[in-house]
Amino acid sequence: MENAMKVTGLRKVFNQHTAIEDVSFNVKRGEIFGLLGPSGSGKTTTIKILTGELLQTSGDVKVLDFDIAFFKTPDFKSRIGILSDNSSLYDRLTVYDNLKLFCKLYDAPLEQIDVMLEEVNLKDARNKAVSKLSKGMKQRVLLAKALIHKPDLVFLDEPTSALDPGNIAHIHRGLQKLNEAGTTIFITTHDMEEATKLCDRVAFLDKGRIQELGNPNALRYKYSTHAFHVETFDDKRLVIENERENADEIKELIATGKVKSIQSDNPTLGQIFLKITGKELV
Amino acid sequence: MHTQRIGAIFEKDLKDFMKNMMLLMMPIAPILLSIMYSRLGDGEEIPISMLYIIVGVTFSAVTSSSMMTMMAEENEKKTLRGLMLSPASFMDIIIGKSLVVALITAVSLAISLFLMGIEPFLSAQAIIGLVLLFLFFLFLGIGIGLFAKSIASTSAYIMPVMFLFGFTPMIEFLALGEDSIAIKVADAFPIMQLINMHDTNSWVPIGVVALWTIGAALFTYICFKKERTDD
Ligand SMILES: Nc1ncnc2c1ncn2[C@@H]1O[C@H](COP(=O)(O)OP(=O)(O)OP(=O)(O)O)[C@@H](O)[C@H]1O
Ligand SMILES: [Mg+2]
């Protein structure tokens, strides 16, 4: 099985409002796949369909070789992990008791609790009531909960939205490690840096359709003008096309010691998104 | 159904119950009431209808009320979603919670009845009656819990359950006269049937209460179908 997911012509209409029009993509086994799109573009809706929480209006979905008819079975549910956009925990119970519940529901060994707490950097909060945690700490407990049964495929709906940079970096390392161990990761995010750094491939979702799909660096190359941006010591900014006949001009600039900096044009994913859809990705 | 998952829900809900001040007050209410009644009676035998008022208070204020509150809280705090996405079935979740409610109800009712005089309940017939009545109130609690979206809204639902089914014997205090329609209707209600059972020793009241329980189960089933099919 090469594909972890196969989505064809997915469409979802909520009483007359079309949330997604026609979405198709495959996610390969073992990859980190990012679904990017502005607020309201249908990212959460797509995840809900892929995890069996919502029924699509039309289109075909296959996840881990399971047909949508089997999405409600314990067999399927125990092979996927979900961090949804507004999941929550039992406030009065401790972090440990919350994770213990899910360990038992997913039939995972209880030793996993401490392993996961270490993983999300929360060992010290083990016996604290969830109501006493900060938003970022809760988010990390939710992440531990999503991963506690070692799923083959995880869905992460904006997993780092409430976290500070230190914890984001920590979580990113954890996700990369998880991925190296073979877990397929499907992630939605607004954070372009996160997508560029983590994802093997990203899909841009807008107007209910996938507008572009590819490896982040390949996309940056594809949408690059390939020009050089040169800044000189007398504060001039030059844009020089990457053409043979411009070689002498660049050589001259360097030879005369005028170059302060020189960069090739490489748009960020956010700039590419803006270029394709005319929308900011925030 | 899956015993380990039911056990996990039971353990979680029992711990959560013990840490929830609002829920903890519920089983204490009938106990306090029993202490008051048993003081008032000074040594005289307490009438059966009084004992059933305690039973009614326990089943409405503890059984129905805590069941719907627990379910409404899962809805309100969005924790139900996490459970539904897990391998646990909706049945596992309901059974786990029901067992917690059964345990708390049993403890609260046993203490109350010990204080008031438990002798009238020490027969197979009376115990069957109590079990059926418990299931009746439990189903009402589950049914309402299925559509109650917030804890605040449950207090509106618990009132009619309490006054209609929990406090039915109190209709005597309204001095309506034997022939009043209200009294005749109330006589068919489950608690009144069980009070009559103690006078007549007939099994007919058990049958009537069983019908009420089946009705409540049907109500729960309809609520379930309505809530679980439209997303
Ligand atoms: N249950 C629902 N009923 C009706 N409309 C809905 C429902 N869920 C989502 N929608 C609509 O579908 C569209 C897509 O919503 P969705 O939550 O999937 O967006 P999103 O990409 O996840 O946004 P965000 O980045 O803000 O999380 C929105 O217009 C939303 O209003
Ligand atoms: Mg969303």
Q: What is the DSSP letter of A56?
A: -
A103 close to A148: Cβ distance less than 8 angstroms: yes
pLDDT in tens, B50-98: 899 999 999 999 999 999 999 999 999 999 999 999 999 999 999 999 9
Closest-approach residue (CA) in chain B for A148:
B86
pLDDT of residue B184: 82
pLDDT of residue B144: 94
Q: How confident is the model at residue B229 (pLDDT cuts 50, 70, 90)?
A: low
- Prediction ipTM score: 0.90
| B86, B89, B231: best to mutate for the A interface, most A CBs within 10 A | B86
pLDDT above 90 (res B169): no
pLDDT of residue A1: 63
- Going from the Cα of B152 to the center of ligand 2, the distance in angstroms, rounded, reads 27
To test the pocket of ligand 1, the residue of A13, A23, A44 to mutate (highest count of ligand atoms within 8 Å of its CB) is A44
Q: Does A78 touch chain B (CB under 8 A)?
A: yes
pLDDT above 80 (res A65): yes
* C-alpha pair distances (Å), A69 with each of A51, A56, A66, A75, B125: 11, 12, 8, 12, 47
For chains A and B, CB pairs below 8 A equal 67
Long-range contacts of range B208-213, CB-CB < 8 Å, 24 or more positions apart? B209/B129, B209/B132, B209/B133, B209/B136, B210/B132, B212/B132, B212/B136, B213/B132, B213/B133, B213/B135, B213/B136, B213/B139
Nearest Cα to A68, choosing from A41, A45, A42, A48?
Answer: A48
Residue nearest to atom 3 of ligand 1 (CA): A14
pLDDT above 70 (res B41): no
Name which residue leads in pLDDT, A257 or B230: A257
pLDDT in tens, A76-103: 999 999 998 888 899 999 999 999 999 9
**pTM (2 d.p.):** 0.89
CATH superfamily of A1-79+151-224+268-282: P-loop containing nucleotide triphosphate hydrolases (3.40.50.300)
Q: What is the mean pLDDT of residues B92-116?
A: 95
- Going from the Cα of A170 to the center of ligand 1, the distance in angstroms, rounded, reads 29
Q: What is the mean pLDDT of residues A94-122?
A: 95
Question: CA of B51 to nearest chain A CA: how many angstroms apart?
Answer: 35
pLDDT of residue A282: 65
Q: What is the mean pLDDT of residues A218-234?
A: 88
* Every domain of chain A and the residues it spans: 1-79+151-224+268-282, 91-148, 225-265
pLDDT above 90 (res B216): yes
Q: Per 3-state DSSP, what percentage of chain B is helix, strand, and coil (rounded to 5)?
A: 85, 0, 15
Q: Which of A51, A82, A93 sits opposite B12 (nearest CB)?
A: A93
Please report, as a single letter, which amino acid is at residue B143.
G
Please report, as a single letter, which amino acid is at residue B228.
R
d(CA A202, CA A25): 10
d(CA A106, CA A109): 9
pLDDT of residue B145: 93
Question: CA of A88 to nearest chain B CA: how many angstroms apart?
Answer: 5
Q: Does A111 touch chain B (CB under 8 A)?
A: no
Read off φ and ψ for residue B172, nearest 5 degrees: -60, -35
A12: β partners: A20
Q: What is the mean pLDDT of residues B206-226?
A: 93
Q: Does A82 touch chain B (CB under 8 A)?
A: yes
Token pair belonging to B79: 């924790």
Please report, as a single letter, which amino acid is at residue A167.
N
Give the residue carrying structure tokens 């997604």. A20
Q: Which of B5, B79, B89 sits opposite A104 (nearest CB)?
A: B5
Question: CA of B221 to nearest chain A CA: how many angstroms apart?
Answer: 20
- Going from the Cα of A266 to the center of ligand 2, the distance in angstroms, rounded, reads 28
Average pLDDT value for chain B? 90
A12 close to A49: Cβ distance less than 8 angstroms: yes
Lowest mean pLDDT among A96-105, A270-279, B169-178: B169-178
Average pLDDT value for chain A? 91
pLDDT in tens, A198-213: 999 999 999 999 999 9
Question: Which residues, 6 or more positions from A95, have their beta carbon under 8 angstroms from its beta carbon?
Answer: A117, A122, A125, A126, A127, A128, A130, A133, A141
pLDDT above 90 (res B215): yes
Would you list which residues of chain B are within 8 Å, Cβ to Cβ, of chain A? 2, 4-5, 7-9, 11-12, 15-16, 19-20, 77-79, 81-89, 231
A106 close to A148: Cβ distance less than 8 angstroms: yes
pLDDT above 80 (res B230): no
pLDDT in tens, A134-180: 988 999 999 999 999 999 999 999 998 878 888 888 889 889 999 99
**Closest ligand, as measured to the CA of A45:** 1
Please report, as a single letter, which amino acid is at residue A221.
Y
Report residues whose beta carbon is within 6 angstroms of any ligand 1 atom.
A 14, 17, 19, 37, 39-45, 85
Q: How confident is the model at residue B43 (pLDDT cuts 50, 70, 90)?
A: low
Please report, as a single letter, which amino acid is at residue A62.
K
* Every domain of chain B and the residues it spans: 3-229
Question: CA of B82 to nearest chain A CA: how many angstroms apart?
Answer: 6
| A57, A68, A90: best to mutate for the B interface, most B CBs within 10 A | A90
- Going from the Cα of A23 to the center of ligand 1, the distance in angstroms, rounded, reads 15
